[in-house]
Homo-oligomer: A and B are copies of this chain.
Amino acid sequence: MSQNLVQQNNLDDTPLSEKAFDDTRQRLIQAAVSVFGSQGFEGASTRRIAALAGTNISSIAYHFGGKENLYLAVADHIAQEIGQKVDGVEALLANERERIRNGTLPPAEAVVLLQRLWREWLDELLSNKEPGYEWTWFVIREQANPTEAFDRIYNASISRFLCILAELIGCIQQSPAQSLTVRLQAVLLFGKMLSFEREHAAVERYLGWKTLDETAKNTIRAAVNEEVARLLVRSEETLSC
């Protein structure tokens, strides 16, 4: 579809305010993340998105050229957002970058790094009262039912993240980061990180948590830490067939 007027710079903090043209644009994307995330592409209506953004339906056509392109613009926006997250992770790991890549980082240290990494991720998810983290829903939907949007997000950011996870797991398990088992575990780990979002409903019903209070959050944090620590266990074969 006509892609000409879609891609543009949207640095988060535009130092030049008063510029109304991509202010509306930002509000539309913001609203679209939320509505597309909760309703899916078909379920979301441009009317709703425009209303939430406090603007008119036709501005969607003006700024993006239609619902479909708005959807893709949202994907690019999310890709950027995850990309910044991954940048943060890389900064966190900067000191050990070489040893991680070589696989010479001792397992115990790698575990601590991975725990810290996940801990930060988790804390952001757990505090998602306000907008900004509804993108997880969008990603989850795309993961289940991939469209071009998934490819954009995946290629731009998730792939990088998975590489880092694989390298860390490789250090922990003393296996090459390229090995199939390690990479599979990286994908599954990423899936788990997203799952906390998706599984709220089940968790609430089964554990009787209306909302996540501090006790609940600490229980989850502890479970996550254990999960990571367990990666240290590398049983050669665990037969059961």
Taking Cβ atoms with an 8 Å cutoff, the residues of A that contact B are 38-43, 111-112, 115-116, 119, 137, 140-146, 150-151, 154, 158-159, 162, 180-181, 183-188, 190-192, 195, 198-199, 201-203, 205-207, 215, 219-220, 222-223, 225-226, 228-235, 237-241
Contact = CB atoms under 8 A, between A and B. Distances in A.
Contacts of A192: 188, 191-192, 195
A136 to B, nearest CB: 10
Contacts of A220: 184
A26 B219 CA distance: 44
A184 B223 contact: yes
Given A38-B145, A143-B199, A222 B181 contact: yes
Copies of this chain present: 2
A187 B207 contact: yes
A115 B238 CA distance: 9
A130 to B, nearest CB: 19
Contacts of A180: 207, 215, 219
B190 A202 contact: yes
B162 A206 contact: yes
A203 to B, nearest CB: 5
B159 A206 contact: yes
Nearest to A173: B226
A150 B188 contact: no
Nearest to A183: B207
Contacts of A207: 180, 183-184, 187
Nearest to A41: B43
Nearest to A221: B241
Nearest to A118: B240
A192 B142 CA distance: 18
B112 A223 contact: no
A162 B206 CA distance: 8
